[in-house]
Amino acid sequence: MSQGKERQEPVSHPVSLLCGYLGISRQGYYRHVDRSLELDVLRSSIVFYAQELRSSLPKAGIRILYELCRRKYADKFTIGRDQCYELFRSNGLCLRRRKRPRTTNSNHHYHIYEDLLNTTPKLHPARFGELCVTDITYVATSSGWAYL
């Protein structure tokens, strides 16, 4: 006898017996298996096509990718929008959402105080600390926003 563990063969049971225990027909089982294989092939081909689209349309959003994939696979496209979006997300095909830069919003309904420095009569501070002025100026640069 050889030392070590003997290799055990996996125990296989007849499909009809297992289907009988689960309460499904053999036909239903094989339909499920075939459908799973078809969906895997469809998903992999959609991901491959979406990666090609992403390389040619780098700024295209997920909606555009979905519509283009749906048009290409119109007769076979059986997965829904949310499932397709999740497929894109899990394969890294989503773009990073950029935050809108926070700048001064002058279009509001709050009270706007008058400019006391540049009105007539001009304000002349009499002592230190009587006048405080602040301003934030946004300058767009190639590397992003700069603040003065």
Domain chopping of the chain, boundaries: 15-90
> Cβ of 39: how many Cβ atoms within 10 Å?
13
Candidate from 7-11, 20-24, 52-56, 79-83 with smallest mean pLDDT: 7-11
Write out the two tokens for 121. 């009569």
pLDDT band at 2 (very low <50, low <70, confident <90, very high): low
Closest listed residue to residue 66, CA positions, set 77, 58, 55: 77
pLDDT tens digits, one per residue of 28-47:
888 888 888 888 888 899 89
- Which of the two residues, 142 and 135, has the higher pLDDT score? 142
Token pair, residue 125, equals: 């501070």
Q: Determine which helix (DSSP H) or strand (DSSP E) holds 139, and give its type and residue range.
A: strand 138-141
Torsion angle, alpha carbons of 44, 45, 50, 55, to 10: 100
Pair 45, 70: CB distance under 8 Å: no
The predicted structure's pLDDT at residue 52: 93
pLDDT digit string (tens) for 46-103? Answer: 899 999 999 999 888 889 999 998 898 888 777 888 988 999 999 988 888 888 877 7
- Angstrom distances, CA of residue 36 to CA of 29, 39, 79, 143: 11, 5, 12, 47
Of the pLDDT bands very low, low, confident and very high (cuts 50, 70, 90), residue 119 is confident
